[in-house]
């Protein structure tokens, strides 16, 4: 009975920590999982292993994950190109040298922020409405638009250094989302 | 593209299911009951032979001490690897010369007070587990991990970089050397003051303390390296 209860609790805690949508909550559930599995080891007459699990799993790794989570900040960039039918590696390689790599290098070296890029061919308005990206790059024909917020310091830095960051494309238009409504931005 | 990816998906699932079935089939049909000669050997007379009341300590400090040496080596190699990987020096300098001697900004008052209360007890239980490793459950590794946790919780209260990691690294290497030397002299070459239980127990306590200090310094180096030399 006790054994079944512990094993079921383990299963539930593992699933919850994997499927939880908040990373900090996941870490706490992982700590609870470690504590429960230490109890299970104790139940199976392995107190040494239980002690190691309690020290490493609950103490060390929880604190380590929390500190790591505090340190990592991700900058979320979305690349939108409605003309492409299906996004595959060829399309991404095409813009890799001109936009993606320089921008990532700028993020990592100068801003010291982890860049995260997403590619989509959905219409810009749906993207802007449904997901809150920090920065949206919109390619339309030969024109490149950059959408971001005026309050965003990182975006301000990108705009200020745009000539050095992206050298291949000279004609880039910057749109501040909080100053312009998206409907009027296309002219 | 969507179709091929679905095909791959089905193939992957089929592989996983077939693999699981094969493992289950082998497990259910080809398992045989062996006797327990090793367990009998290790648990029959371990107190008289090794002086440890805890059979696990008897195994990892006497019967299978060769494995312990390589575990210690493994930890040291991973520490060296972490040091090699994290070399963003500018951050370390930034933190090293911080004049603010009690930088409390952004720290929860509750955490600060609770860690202050718990801290001596954590240190105490870590030392207790190390010293009593041969009598009760525990040992060098567990106690060292608890001590390292205590030092790491210190970061939550006092996030300034004032540890000499280089000295800690040298201490860890010297400890590794003594971890290798002690069993080689005591167990393999049988250079013992006397073949009594007391002598064996002193050996156990010494080994556990060495391992505990080594694990403590190794894990602390890894943590502080990640915190101050990596990221922002």
pLDDT tens-digit series, residues A129-164: 777 778 888 887 777 888 888 777 778 888 888 777
Q: Which residues of B touch A112 (CB under 8 A)?
A: 232
pTM here is 0.69
Structure tokens at B31: 């398992």
**CB-CB contact of B196 with B124 (8 Å):** no
pLDDT-derived band at B185 (thresholds 50, 70, 90) equals: very high
Residue of A nearest to B144 (CA): A55
Q: In whole angstroms, give the CA distance from residue B147 to residue B141.
A: 10
Please give the span between the terminal C-alpha atoms of chain B, in angstroms, as a whole number: 40
- A64 to B146: CB separation less than 8 angstroms, yes or no: no
Q: Which of B226, B60, B41, B56 is nearest to B152 (CA)?
A: B226
Q: In whole angstroms, give the CA distance from residue A115 to residue A23.
A: 18
Assess A48–B contact: CB distance below 8 Å, yes or no. Answer: yes
Q: Which of B117, B183, B134, A37 is nearest to B143 (CA)?
A: B134
Q: With 80 as the cut, is the pLDDT of residue B26 above it?
A: yes
Could you give the ipTM of this predicted complex? 0.75
pLDDT tens-digit series, residues B42-81: 888 888 888 888 888 889 988 889 999 999 999 999 999 9
Q: Which residues of B touch A63 (CB under 8 A)?
A: 149, 152-153, 155-156
Q: In whole angstroms, give the CA distance from residue A124 to residue A143.
A: 14
pLDDT tens-digit series, residues B112-145: 888 889 999 999 999 999 999 889 888 889 999 9
Total Cβ atoms within 10 A of residue A127:
21
Average of pLDDT values for A54-65?
Answer: 88
Residues β-bridged to residue A136: A78, A147
Q: Which of residues 96-135 of A touch B (CB under 8 A)?
A: 112
- B146 to A59: CB separation less than 8 angstroms, yes or no: yes
The full set of domain ranges for chain A reads: 2-70, 74-186
Q: In whole angstroms, give the CA distance from residue B109 to residue B157.
A: 9
Assess A86–B contact: CB distance below 8 Å, yes or no. Answer: yes
Residue B98: the pLDDT is: 47
pLDDT tens-digit series, residues A4-16: 999 999 999 999 9
């Amino acid at each position: 009975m006790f054994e079944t209860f512990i094993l079921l609790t383990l299963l539930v805690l593992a699933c919850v920590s994997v499927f939880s949508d908040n990373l900090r909550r996941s870490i706490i559930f992982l700590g609870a999982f470690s504590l429960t599995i230490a109890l299970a080891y104790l139940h199976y007459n392995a107190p040494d292993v239980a002690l190691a699990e309690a020290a490493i799993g609950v103490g060390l790794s929880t604190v380590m994950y929390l500190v790591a989570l505090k340190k990592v900040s991700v900058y979320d960039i979305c690349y939108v190109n409605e003309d492409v039918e299906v996004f595959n590696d060829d399309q991404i390689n095409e813009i890799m040298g001109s936009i993606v790599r320089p921008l990532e290098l700028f993020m990592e070296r100068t801003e010291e922020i982890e860049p995260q890029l997403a590619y989509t061919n959905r219409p810009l308005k749906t993207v802007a409405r449904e997901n809150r990206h920090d920065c949206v790059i919109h390619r339309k024909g030969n024109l490149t638009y950059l959408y971001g917020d005026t309050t965003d310091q990182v975006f301000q830095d990108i705009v200020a250094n745009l000539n050095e960051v992206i050298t291949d494309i000279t004609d880039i238009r910057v749109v501040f989302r909080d100053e312009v409504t998206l409907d009027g931005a296309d002219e | 593209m969507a179709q091929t990816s679905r095909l791959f998906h089905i193939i992957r699932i089929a592989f996983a299911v077939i693999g699981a079935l094969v493992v289950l089939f082998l497990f259910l049909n080809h398992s045989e009951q062996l006797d327990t000669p090793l367990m009998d050997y290790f648990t029959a007379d371990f107190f008289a032979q090794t002086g440890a009341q805890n059979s696990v300590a008897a195994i990892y400090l006497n019967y299978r001490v060769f494995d312990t040496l390589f575990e210690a080596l493994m930890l040291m190699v991973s520490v060296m690897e972490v040091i090699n990987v994290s070399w963003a020096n500018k951050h370390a300098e930034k933190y090293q010369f911080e004049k603010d001697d009690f930088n409390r900004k952004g720290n929860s008052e509750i955490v600060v007070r609770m860690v202050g209360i718990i801290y001596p007890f954590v240190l105490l239980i870590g030392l207790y587990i190390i010293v009593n490793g041969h009598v009760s459950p525990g040992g060098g590794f567990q106690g060292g991990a608890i001590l390292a946790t205590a030092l790491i919780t210190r970061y939550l209260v006092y996030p300034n970089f004032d540890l000499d990691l280089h000295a800690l690294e040298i201490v860890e290497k010297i400890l590794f050397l003594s971890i290798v030397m002690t069993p080689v002299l005591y167990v393999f070459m049988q250079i013992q003051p006397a073949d009594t239980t007391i002598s064996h127990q002193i050996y156990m306590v010494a080994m556990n303390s060495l391992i505990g200090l080594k694990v403590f310094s190794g894990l602390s180096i890894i943590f502080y390296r990640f915190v101050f030399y990596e990221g922002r």
